[in-house]
Chain A
Amino acid sequence: MRPVNGEDGLSAADVKNLPWVEKYRPRRLDDVVNQEQVVEALKNIVVSKNVPHMLFAGPPGTGKTATAHAFAQDLFGPRYIEDGHFIEINASDERGIETIRERVKTYARSVPFGGIGFRLLLLDESDQLTDAAQHAFRRTMEQFSTTCRFILAANYSNRIIEPIQSRCAVLRFKPLSKDMVGTMLKKIAASENIKLDDSGVDAIYEFSMGDMRKAINILQSAASLSNTIDSKTIYNVMGVVSRGEIMRMLQLVLDGKFIEARNLLRELLYVQGYQPTDIVSSIAREIPLLPVSEQDKLRLMDLIGETDYRISEGGTPEVQLQAFLAKLALVKRSGA
C-alpha cells in the first residue's frame, strides 16, 4: 500500500513510510481530538502568550506529548524546535536529577532571539522521577522560571508531589471514547487505502481501549498483513503480539513445568520487550479458555486482577507474575 497524504489537517510528513503514530500525530492544536477543554485552555494561552508551568496528566496514548508539541508550534511557529524555543527531556531516559538539572541550566541560560521572552521545556514521563528528584526539580523550576516555562507530562498526577502540582496549571487528558478511536482509525484507513470494517474497529478497541497510540499501532500492524482488515485480522495480529506465547506459558504451569514457564515469562519481558500490562491482560483473556473448573476460573481472574493492581502500584512485574504462576500451578486441570 502506498501512503497517501492525510486530509482534514492530518498532514503527512515528507518521508513516505512513517510509523503511523508519527504520520498522523496532530501538528496543531486544532488537530488534537477528544481533549476539548485542554485545547481551549491552551489556545487562550497562545493568544495571551502568558504561559504558566503546566502539568499534563492522563493515561497513555491520550495525546499529552503530541499536544505539547502542537502547543509549541502554535506558540512559536513551525521552526519551534530548530530555533531552540522548545526542548523535550524524558525523565525516564535521564540518569538522575543532576543530569536533568544540568540540561535545564544549559538550556535556560539564555532566551533565543525572536521569541516571546522564554523557552518551553517538556519533561515527559515526569512521574518516573522519585519524590526526592521531584523536590530537586521543583527548585530548578523556580530558579529558571523567568527564562523557561515547564510542561510536565505524567500518567498519574497523584505521583507528582504536591509542591509541583500547586505550581502548575493541571490539564487533564481523557482516554479516547470508542467513537473517537473508531473515527480516527477509519480516517487513517481511508487515507492509507485500507478497508477497515466495524468488526475490525471493535476488535482494535478491545485491545487498545482509549489508548490512541496503541490503536494506531495495531492498525498499522494489521495493515502490514492485509489490505482488508476485520476482527479476524486483528485477533491474528494480536495473537502474534502476545496470545500464543501467553497460552503456552499458562499450559506449562498447568503441566507442572514451573521453571520452564518462568523462563518463557522472562523471555517475553526482557528479550521480546512485552509490556507487563499486555501480558496481564492477555492472561486475563486466556483464563476463561483454560482447562480448569468454573470456580477456578473465577478465582484465577481474582488473582490476576490482584496482580494487575499490584503492578500498577509499582510492583516488579516479574515477581508479581511469578507469584501468580505459582498459584496457578496449584490449580487442577479439569476434564481430560
Chain B
Amino acid sequence: MTQLWTEKHRPRKVSEIVGNKEAVQSFLDWMADWEKGKPSKKAALLYGPAGVGKTSLVHAYASERGYEVIETNASDFRTRENIERIVGAASGMASLTMGQRKIILVDEVDGIDARADAGAVTSLVDIISKTHVPLVLVANDPWDPRLAPLRDACVMIQFRRIPKPSVSAHLKKIAAAENVRVPEDVLRRIVENSEGDLRSAINDLQMASAALEMGLVTGPRDRKDEIFTALATIFNAKSYNTAQEAARNIDIDHMELMQWILENAPQQLSPTDLAEALENLAKADLYLQRINTRQNWQFLRYAVPMMTAGVALSRKTSPSKFVKFTYPDAIKFLGRTKSMRETLNSISEKVGKKLHMSARKARTEMIPYLKIIMSHDGEELAEYFELSPAEAQFLRGGEVKKSRVKGRG
C-alpha cells in the first residue's frame, strides 16, 4: 500500500502552486478583501481544466492561513433543501471572527444535474448573498446557461493548463523527493500525455516509477508501461466500452494480458468483487482455450469483454489507496523455479521415453508416485530411467514428508 503521490505532494503553501500566477493573485486579492471585511463579491468561481490546481489552491491557502475548509461536492446534493442544509448551515454558522475561520468549498458546480431541483442554482445564489464565510465554487466548464446567475454572483477566476516545462520541472522535483530516477524519454512521454493536467501527470509518474522499480521500463514506447496503463483502465473503468478498449489499445497476447489481470486482481479487489472478477476471467479462459485448440476465433468477441469489462464491472467497492500493479507472479514464479523445472522436465522426458508416454503425461501421472517409490528404492529405478545423480536426488528430495512451499509471501 502506498500513498497517492498526488496527495503526498499536494502543495502546502500558496507559493508551491505550479503555474496560474494570475489566477492565484486574483484569489489572494479576493481573500484579502474578505479579511478586510468588504469583498466585492462574496463568492469566487474557480474554473478551468482538470488537474491544474483549483482546489489545491484553496487548501494550500487555508492551511497556510489557518482556515478550516468545509468541502462539499455539488453533485452530492440534488435538492434545494440539501443545499440549504449543508452549505447554508455552514455559511450562517460561523463568521470570520468567531472560532476557527472557515472557507466553504463547493466542488463540481457544473455537475449539478439538469434533472435535479431547478432551484439548486437559485438556492446557491441565495446563500451567496447571505453568507458570512468566503464561498469558493469550482467548475471545469462554467459556461452552461443554467449557471448564468452564479457567474454574476461570483468573482470569476480562470485557471489554464500548466505549461509543459512547468509540469516537467515539477515531476522532476517529485521524482527527486521520492528518490526514483526516471529516464528522460519516459518523463517526456508523461508530460506529453498530460496535456497540462498536473494531477494525471503525477499519477502517471507514480505508475511509471512502480514499473521502474521492478526494472520493467527500459526505453521509449515500452510495452510494460502500456500494460500498466491498460491495467489501470481495466481495474478502474466504469463502463463496458472503456474497459474493453483497454485491451484493444495494446499489443499483447490475450493470454498474457489475462495473466496480468489475474495476477493483480487479488490486490486490487475486495474478496466479493474478486470472486466475481475471477469467475469472469475463468469464463474468458474457456473461450481463449477453445480458440487455442480449435482456432474458433469468433470466440474472441466473448473472451475479451469477459476479461476486461468482466473485471471492471465486478468492482463494486473502490479502493481508498493506490496499489501498485505487479508483474505476473506466475511468470516470476516460473523464473525463480527455472532450474527445478528444467530438472523436472528432463526427468519427465526420460521417464516418458521408458514408459511410452509424453513427458507431460509422465510428469503428472508418474512423478508424484516415483517420488514416493524412489525415496526407498532409489538406486535401481534411477539406473533404469538413466537419471543423473542430480535428477535422482531431486526425486528423492521430494521425500515422503509433506513438502513445504518455500517461505515467500
B274, B282, B360: the one contacting A319 at CB < 8 Å is: B282
Verify if A267 is at the interface (C-beta below 8 Å from B): yes
Q: Which residue of B lies closest to A131 (CB)?
A: B294
Q: Contact: B358 with A270, CB < 8 Å?
A: no
Of the listed stretches A4-12, A42-50, A100-108, A325-333, name the one at the interface; the rest are far from the partner chain.
Answer: A325-333
Residues of A contacting B282 in the complex (Cβ-Cβ under 8 angstroms): 310, 315, 319-320, 322-323
Main secondary structure of the interface of A (DSSP, over half): helix
Which B21-73 residues have C-beta < 8 A from chain A? none
A169 at the interface (CB under 8 A from B): no
B93 contacts the other chain (Cβ, under 8 Å)? no
Say yes or no: is B408 at the interface (Cβ < 8 Å to chain A): yes
> Which B329-380 residues have C-beta < 8 A from chain A?
329-330, 333-334, 337, 340-341, 344, 348-349, 352, 354-361, 363-370, 372-373, 375-377, 380
Q: Say yes or no: B400 contacts A330, CB within 8 Å.
A: no
**Which of A15, A124, A271, A272 is B358 in contact with, Cβ under 8 Å?**
A124
With CB as the reference atom, state the residue of chain A lying closest to B286: A315
* A92, B361: Cα distance in complex, Å: 9
A266 within 8 A of B: yes
Complex formed: what's the CA distance from A125 to B352 in Å?
Answer: 12
With A131-B294, A316-B289 known to touch, is A221 a contact of B373 (CB < 8 Å)? yes
A273 within 8 A of B: yes
**Contact A326–B361 (Cβ < 8 Å):** no
Q: A-facing mask of B264-285, CB < 8 A → 1, else 0?
A: 0011000110110111011001
Bound CA span A17–B375, Å: 14
Closest to B284 in A: A319
How far is B408's CA from A241's CA once the two chains are assembled, in angstroms? 22
Any B CB within 8 A of the CB of A51: no
- CB–CB B286/A310 < 8 A: yes
Tell me if B402 counts as interface (CB < 8 A to partner A): yes
In whole angstroms, how far apart are the Cα atoms of A217 and B277 in the complex? 39
Nearest chain B residue, comparing its CB with the CB of A122? B356
A132 within 8 A of B: yes
The answer, yes or no, to whether B398 is at the interface (CB within 8 Å) is yes
A128: chain B residues within 8 A (beta carbon): 358
Residues from chain B with Cβ under 8 Å of A17 in the complex: 377, 380-381, 384
Q: Is A326 a contact of B278 with CB atoms below 8 Å?
A: yes
> Which residues of A in the span 66-97 have a Cβ within 8 Å of any Cβ on B?
66, 69, 88, 90-93
Give the shortest distance, in Å, between A239 (CB) and chain B (any CB).
8
What is the minimal beta-carbon distance from B23 to any residue of chain A, in angstroms? 46
Chain B: residues with Cβ within 8 Å of the partner, total of 65
Q: How far is the CA of A237 from the CA of B369 in the complex (A)?
A: 9
Give the contact stretch, choosing among A28-36, A195-203, A256-264: A256-264
Task: Check B368 against A69 for contact (C-beta < 8 Å).
Answer: no
Assess A130 versus B293: contact at CB under 8 Å? Given A217-B369, A270-B334, A327-B279. yes
* Residue ID in chain B nearest A90 by CB atoms: B358
Interface positions of A from 210 to 258, Cβ below 8 Å from B: 213-214, 217-218, 220-221, 224-225, 237, 240-242, 244-245, 256, 258
Residue A21, interface by CB 8 Å: yes
Which of B266, B275, B295, B384 sits near A330, CB closer than 8 Å?
B275
Q: Are A273 and B368 in contact (CB under 8 A)?
A: yes
Cβ-based interface call for A286 (8 A):
no
Known: A224-B376, A274-B364. A314 touches B341 (CB 8 A): no
Q: Are B402 and A326 in contact (CB under 8 A)?
A: no
The verdict on A319 contacting B369 (CB below 8 Å), with A90-B352, A259-B409, A314-B290 known, is no
Q: Is A298 an interface residue (CB 8 A)?
A: no
Q: Is the CB of A131 within 8 A of B274?
A: no
Among A125, A241, A315, max chain B CB count under 10 A is at A315
Task: Knowing A69-B356, A90-B358, A310-B286, say if A273 contacts B384 (CB, 8 Å).
Answer: no
Question: A131-157, CB under 8 A of B: which get 1 and which 0?
Answer: 110000000000000000000000000
- Nearest-neighbour CB distance to chain B for A146, whole angstroms, equals 26
Q: How far is the CB of B387 from chain A (nearest CB, A)?
A: 12
Count class of interface residues, chain A: 35 or more
Known: A18-B384, A124-B357, A273-B367. A262 touches B266 (CB 8 A): yes
Does any Cβ of B come within 8 Å of A291's Cβ? no
Decide if B372 touches A271 in the complex (CB within 8 Å): no
Instruction: Determine whether A296 belongs to the interface, using a CB cutoff of 8 Å to chain B.
Output: no
At the interface, yes or no: A62 with Cβ under 8 Å from chain B? no
Nearest chain A CB to B224 CB, angstrom units: 22
Whether A22 lies near B289 (C-beta < 8 A) is no
A275 to B360, CA, bound (A): 10
What is the chain B residue whose CB lies nearest that of A221?
Answer: B372
Check A271 against B384 for contact (C-beta < 8 Å): no
A59 at the interface (CB under 8 A from B): no
- Bound Cα distance A59, B384 (Å): 27
> Counting CB contacts under 8 A, is B403 at the interface?
yes
Measured CB to CB, the closest approach of chain A to B244, in angstroms, equals: 20
Check B359–A214 contact: CB distance below 8 A: no
B258 CB–A CB distance under 8 Å: yes
B114 within 8 A of A: no
A65 with B357, Cβ < 8 A, contacts A19-B381, A319-B285 known: yes
Task: Report the Cα distance A221→B395, complex, angstroms.
Answer: 13
Contacts of A224 in B (CB 8 A): 372-373, 375-377
Q: What residue of chain B has the Cβ atom nearest to residue A318's Cβ?
A: B330
Name the B residues within 8 Å of A278 (CB-CB): 364, 368
Set B271, B281, B293, B330: member contacting A323, Cβ < 8 A: B281
How many Å lie between the Cα of A43 and that of B313 in the bound state?
A: 61
Shortest distance between the CB of B374 and any CB in chain A (Å): 8
Q: Is the CB of A319 within 8 A of B295?
A: no
> 19 pairs across A/B with beta carbons < 8 Å?
A15-B383, A17-B384, A19-B355, A19-B384, A60-B361, A65-B356, A91-B358, A93-B349, A124-B358, A131-B295, A217-B365, A221-B372, A240-B372, A245-B402, A256-B271, A258-B274, A315-B285, A319-B285, A330-B275
Task: List 10 additional contacts besides A314-B293, A330-B272; criterion CB under 8 Å.
Answer: A15-B384, A92-B359, A130-B293, A217-B365, A218-B369, A221-B373, A258-B274, A271-B344, A274-B364, A278-B364
Which residues of B line the A interface, CB within 8 A?
Answer: 258, 262, 266-267, 271-272, 274-275, 277-279, 281-282, 285-286, 289-290, 292-295, 329-330, 333-334, 337, 340-341, 344, 348-349, 352, 354-361, 363-370, 372-373, 375-377, 380-381, 383-384, 398, 400-403, 405, 408-409
